[in-house]
């Protein structure tokens, strides 16, 4: 057997992994890993020769054994409301989208975890693109690196990165190890120094992995609910057939019990005449009250109402403003903490549910959606993935 000549991409490693690499692979002191982390994540330096507090012999070792490969920016596009979207190349065939949303003293980065998505949530544009593969840790944290470097270059606009949400393309808990490792770097003082509560993972309801997340990471949890009865939720979120609402809510209870003073945000996308009627609001209020009563914790559940963001070929429509406010009022009257998410970046297709990127689909879902689009547009729909 010949010895592998592949270089280690240092973006793939969290602090513990980088310390092991320096000690075991390079024969160096562990604190050297801390120096390199600061160069990469604080100063956005990827050239070892520019890491001037490292001796020449160590820099030579790094040049031989390691590299720092960040995602390639295919384009970056600002919105009129200050939102910013990047299309980032992951390899020769695939690209993913990452979105930055500034708002009143905070800046939130929406990060992708997969190329496409293996789930098939009916109201999500990403689902129409199918699925190719999981992202590596380097490709996940690389999105943060690109955004932080960009924001650091425009200090006069006073834009900064304060929050990260794993709500971009993909189901994060289906890429558990890489996502958890990347979130560790996000929260590390040698990485991006974000508080635990300012890193949020959103899941469609991977029940076993919610339990594992509560044991292995300390981040905020959001659950894509979208319906409070199993029949409708299974239609909208097919994963519900495997992990129905009762099992999902039980996992959420266990998560909060293991995380004192924590709460869970339940995301609910409002679609006209689908899940926005008073009966749906009452069902949701009942479910949230049951959740809070079981835990005996005030505001253990928060509901985030999301107006549906249309995309070409979808059968769903956005609920009207009156319906949205009436839905919120029914929840608030039932003592359920409820917010309405303001739509941001929809002029550049950067709003919630609109991310799609470029996916070399292995599921044939993209071809099926194109066929559907041609049927409803008489063959004038064009390329839905463009």
Question: Among all residues, which ones are annotated catalytic?
Answer: 97, 352
H or E segment to which residue 201 belongs: strand 199-203
228-242: string of b/e by CB count within 10 Å (b at 16+)? beeebbbebbebbee
CA angle 178, 196, 20 (to 5 degrees): 45
Contact 248, 132 (CB under 8 A): no
Contact 217, 183 (CB under 8 A): yes
Determine the distance from the C-alpha atom of residue 322 to the mean position of all C-alpha atoms in its chain, rounded to a whole number.
30
Contact 143, 182 (CB under 8 A): no
Q: What is the rounded CA–CA span in Å between residue 255 and residue 262?
A: 9
**Partners of 110 in the beta sheet?**
99, 165
Alpha carbon dihedral 202, 206, 212, 218, in 10-degree steps, equals: 10
Using DSSP's 3-state secondary structure scheme, residue 227 falls into: coil
Q: What is the rounded CA–CA span in Å between residue 266 and residue 290?
A: 14
Residue with tokens 């944290």: 141
Q: DSSP letter string over 235-246?
A: HH-GGGGTS-HH
């Amino acid at each position: 057997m010949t010895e592998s000549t592949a270089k280690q991409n240092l973006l793939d490693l969290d602090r513990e992994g980088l310390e092991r690499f320096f000690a075991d692979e390079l024969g160096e002191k562990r604190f050297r890993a801390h120096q390199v982390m600061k160069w990469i994540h604080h100063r956005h330096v990827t050239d070892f020769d520019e890491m001037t507090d490292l001796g020449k012999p160590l820099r030579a070792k790094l040049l031989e054994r390691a590299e720092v490969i960040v995602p390639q920016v295919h384009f970056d596009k600002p919105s009129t409301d200050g939102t910013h979207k990047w299309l980032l190349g992951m390899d020769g065939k695939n690209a993913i989208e990452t979105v930055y949303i500034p708002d009143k003293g905070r800046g939130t980065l929406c990060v992708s975890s997969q190329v496409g998505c293996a789930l098939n949530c009916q109201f999500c544009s990403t689902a129409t693109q199918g699925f190719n593969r999981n992202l590596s840790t380097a490709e996940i944290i690389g999105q943060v690196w690109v955004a932080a470097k960009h924001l650091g270059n425009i200090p006069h606009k006073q834009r900064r990165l304060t929050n990260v949400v794993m709500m971009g393309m993909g189901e994060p808990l289906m890429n558990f190890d890489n996502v958890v490792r990347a979130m560790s770097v996000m929260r590390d003082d040698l990485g991006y120094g974000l508080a635990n509560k300012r890193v949020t993972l959103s899941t469609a309801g991977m029940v076993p992995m919610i339990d594992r997340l509560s044991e292995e990471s300390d981040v905020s949890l959001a659950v894509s609910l979208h319906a409070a009865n199993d029949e409708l939720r299974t239609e909208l979120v097919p994963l519900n057939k495997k992990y129905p609402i009762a099992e999902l809510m039980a996992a959420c209870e266990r998560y909060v019990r293991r995380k004192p003073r924590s709460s869970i945000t339940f995301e609910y996308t409002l679609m006209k005449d689908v899940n926005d009627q008073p009966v749906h609001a009452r069902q949701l209020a009942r479910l949230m009250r049951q959740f809070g009563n079981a835990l005996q914790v005030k505001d253990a559940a928060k509901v985030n109402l999301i107006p549906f963001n249309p995309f070409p070929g979808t059968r769903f429509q956005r609920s009207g403003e009156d319906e949205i406010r009436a839905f919120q009022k029914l929840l608030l009257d039932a003592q359920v903490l409820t917010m309405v998410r303001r739509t941001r970046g929809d002029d550049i297709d950067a709003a919630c549910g609109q991310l799609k990127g470029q996916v070399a689909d292995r599921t044939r879902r993209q071809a099926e959606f194109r066929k559907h689009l041609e049927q409803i547009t008489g063959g004038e729909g064009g390329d839905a993935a463009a």
